[in-house]
Amino acid sequence: MKSLERSRADIDHLDAKMASLYTQRMATVRDIAAQKQAEGLPIRDPGREQTVLERNLARIADPDLRPGYAALLRRQMAAARAYQEKLLSRAELCVQLADSVCPIYLKDGALQDADRYLELDRRVCIVTDDGTPPEYAAALADKCAAPMIVTVPAGEGSKSVAVWTDLLQRMQYAGLTRSDCVAAVGGGVVGDLAGFAAASYLRGIDCYQIPTTLLAMADASVGGKTALNYGGVKNAVGAIRQPRAVLMDPTVLQTLPHRQLANGLAEILKMALTSDPMLFALLRQPEPPLRDILLRALNVKIAVVEQDERETGLRRVLNFGHTLGHGIEAACGGRLLHGECVGLGMLPMCAPQLRPQVEAALTGLGLPTRAEFDPEAALAAIAHDKKTDACGIRTVRVDEIGQWRLETVQLSDLRPMLRGLLPNP
Ligand SMILES: NC(=O)c1ccc[n+]([C@@H]2O[C@H](COP(=O)([O-])OP(=O)(O)OC[C@H]3O[C@@H](n4cnc5c(N)ncnc54)[C@H](O)[C@@H]3O)[C@@H](O)[C@H]2O)c1
């Protein structure tokens, strides 16, 4: 028998070979993408995929190895498809995962041209809320072959089992099938609700995210997280399922109240502080250039999601400011917006020498640096939160702009931090 060391060396050698073969395979996939584009052929060819699968499986003599090999091959084919779609996409940005690609179209006026970007030649259940100007959902409906519009009440209350059930009923009543889709036109609330309805209906149908708030554009619409609030816990129920595409038309932000714009800037500041010093510098300008800021924020979000779709590690960085933020949000009875609470929640999580800069940035963006709330109620809400477990609470800390680390703290450690955010600490 070979020694363990020898066997491991053999595996390393085989892995190196496989990495080189994978690179060669994807180079050929790139050539095929160009040929398909030249000949106007679709990326997916299910007949050929089946032939390739059967032919290669026949090469595996041991039947015990076949299911694993089939899964590997299917994943490789999905990755090749995603790569081709990315190469051929007209989108400015893409979230590319092993087995899916989600193009992000970011263009002024894109909503009026939605059928150029999205497959709307089917039944489309457009979900919006009554705080989003109705002309946005109407503009999309105008481009759909068979639209239906469902308008839910604006606000966090719509991320509920009751509203989700009602939405599913309407989808079922309208006879939506697996090949139909849902389109979310609104802020993060509509995106989370409609995304979860799409993820759960018939075990998952296509969803288009069409965010109309800055927060939803920079953060909520990208990455596939969907959620409802349940049992008093925010985002307690949900699924991760990538949207088919995201369509962002920044002209819709013209109707967004200033406070909501600042709310979105708070989430962007979060990305700047943890991951992008240049973005922080842009945010400190007297008139932050919105499109550049959005693009940079999206690049941070995409990089994080591509490396950690299921939040097993890196994606936790996006929770910066959220542990305290969620607690403050719950304790202030709806007086403060999500982004405002996240902004406050970031302050105690920054190194002391950084805090004046972050406070100045928050003030410059029109966000609070102090608030009136009951710290004990916030602590109780944090204890209830999903990030709490017996080993403590994992928080994201920023010591320098663009650098973060995880730190586990106890609930009681958060009390002085929360008190420090009161008007008279
Ligand atoms: N899924 C994710 O990854 C993720 C990430 C961050 C936040 N979220 C969720 O997003 C939600 C917050 O999203 P939000 O800040 O967009 O709030 P929101 O969806 O409540 O929208 C804010 C308000 O703006 C209105 N509105 C929307 N578009 C408008 C427009 N163009 N003009 C005028 N008014 C408009 C809405 O009707 C609403 O009243 C929270 O529930 C949060 O949990 C999800």
Q: Print the SS3 string covering 283-316.
A: HCCCCCCHHHHHHHHHHHHHHHHHHCCCCCCHHH
User: What pLDDT does 259 receive?
Assistant: 96
Could you say which of 3.40.50.150, 3.20.19.10, 3.40.250.10, 3.40.50.1970 is the CATH number of the domain covering 100-256?
3.40.50.1970
The answer, yes or no, to whether any atom of ligand 1 lies below 6 A from the CB of 189, is: yes
Are the C-beta atoms of 419 and 343 separated by less than 8 Å? no
Q: Active-site residue among 315, 316, 329, 340?
A: 315
DSSP letter at 421 equals: T
The answer, yes or no, to whether any atom of ligand 1 lies below 6 A from the CB of 414, is: no
- How far apart CA 54 and CA 47 sit, in angstroms, is 11
- Catalytic annotation present for 284: no
Written as one string, the DSSP assignment of 39-106 is HT--S--HHHHHHHHHHHHTT---GGGHHHHHHHHHHHHHHHHHHHHHHH---SEEEEETTEEEEEEE
Domain locations in the chain as residue ranges: 4-85, 100-256, 277-419
Element (H, E) at 150: strand 146-152
User: What pLDDT does 90 receive?
Assistant: 67
User: What pLDDT does 40 receive?
Assistant: 79
Distance of CA 183 to the CA centre of its chain: 15
The answer, yes or no, to whether any atom of ligand 1 lies below 6 A from the CB of 220, is: yes
CATH placement of domain 277-419: 1.20.1090.10
The answer, yes or no, to whether any atom of ligand 1 lies below 6 A from the CB of 128, is: no
Q: Write out the two tokens for 88.
A: 């051929």
The answer, yes or no, to whether any atom of ligand 1 lies below 6 A from the CB of 193, is: no
CA dihedral in degrees (92, 197, 182, 185; nearest 10)?
A: -70
Distance 170 CA to ligand 1 centre (A): 22
The model carries a pTM of 0.85
Are the C-beta atoms of 147 and 99 separated by less than 8 Å? no
- Catalytic annotation present for 13: no
In this structure, which amino acid lies at residue 318?
L
Q: List the pLDDT tens digit at each of the 425 positions of the chain.
A: 779 999 999 999 999 999 999 999 989 988 888 888 888 787 777 788 899 999 999 999 999 999 999 999 998 888 888 788 777 776 679 898 887 889 999 999 999 999 989 999 999 999 999 999 999 999 999 999 999 999 999 999 999 999 999 999 999 999 999 999 999 999 999 999 999 999 999 999 999 999 999 999 999 999 999 999 999 888 899 999 999 999 999 999 999 999 999 999 999 999 999 999 999 999 999 888 898 999 999 999 999 899 878 777 777 888 899 999 999 999 998 899 999 999 999 999 999 999 999 999 999 999 999 999 999 999 999 987 754 556 788 899 999 999 999 999 999 999 999 999 999 87
User: What pLDDT does 388 receive?
Assistant: 52
- How far apart CA 196 and CA 179 sit, in angstroms, is 17
User: What pLDDT does 142 receive?
Assistant: 97
In this structure, which amino acid lies at residue 337?
L
Secondary structure in 3-state letters for 336-361? CCHHHHHHHHHHHHECCCCHHHHHHH
Q: Active-site residue among 123, 143, 322, 329?
A: 322
For the CA of 252, the nearest atom of ligand 1:
31
CATH 3.90.180.10 fits 4-85, yes or no: no
Are the C-beta atoms of 288 and 368 separated by less than 8 Å? no
Q: Write out the two tokens for 346.
A: 């970031």
